[in-house]
Amino acid sequence: MAKFMMVETIHSEKVVTARLGQSGAGNTFTDADVGKAVKLTAESRYELCALGDAAEGVVSSVNVGTVDGYSIGGVVSSGYKEVTFDGSQAAGTGAITVGTYVVVGTVVARNTALTGPLKVRSATDQAAAKAAPFKARVVSLGSAGTGAVGTVGLVELL
Asked if 102 contacts 138 with a C-beta cutoff of 8 angstroms, the reply is yes
* Percentage, residues of the chain above pLDDT 70: 99
Q: Where are the domains of the chain?
A: 10-76, 79-157
Taking the CA atoms of 65, 66, 70 and 74 in sequence, report the sign of the dihedral they define: negative
Task: Look over the chain and give the mean of its residue pLDDT values, rounded to a whole number.
Answer: 95
- What pTM was computed for the model? 0.94
pLDDT 10s digits, 139-151:
999 999 999 999 9
Is the pLDDT at 1 greater than 80, yes or no?
no
| 127 — pLDDT class (breaks 50, 70, 90) | very high
Residue 27 phi, psi dihedral angles, 5° rounding: -115, 10
Asked if 15 contacts 63 with a C-beta cutoff of 8 angstroms, the reply is no
pLDDT 10s digits, 89-122:
999 999 999 999 999 999 999 999 999 999 999 9
The helix or strand, by DSSP H or E, that contains position 39, with its residue range, turns out to be strand 37-42
Report helix, strand or coil for 113.
coil
pLDDT 10s digits, 4-34:
889 999 889 999 999 999 998 889 999 999 9
pLDDT 10s digits, 27-50:
999 999 999 999 999 999 999 999
Q: How many CA atoms lie within 13 A of 78 on its CB side?
A: 6
**Confidence at residue 130, expressed as pLDDT on a 0 to 100 scale:** 96
**Beta bridge partners of residue 90, listed in sequence order:** none
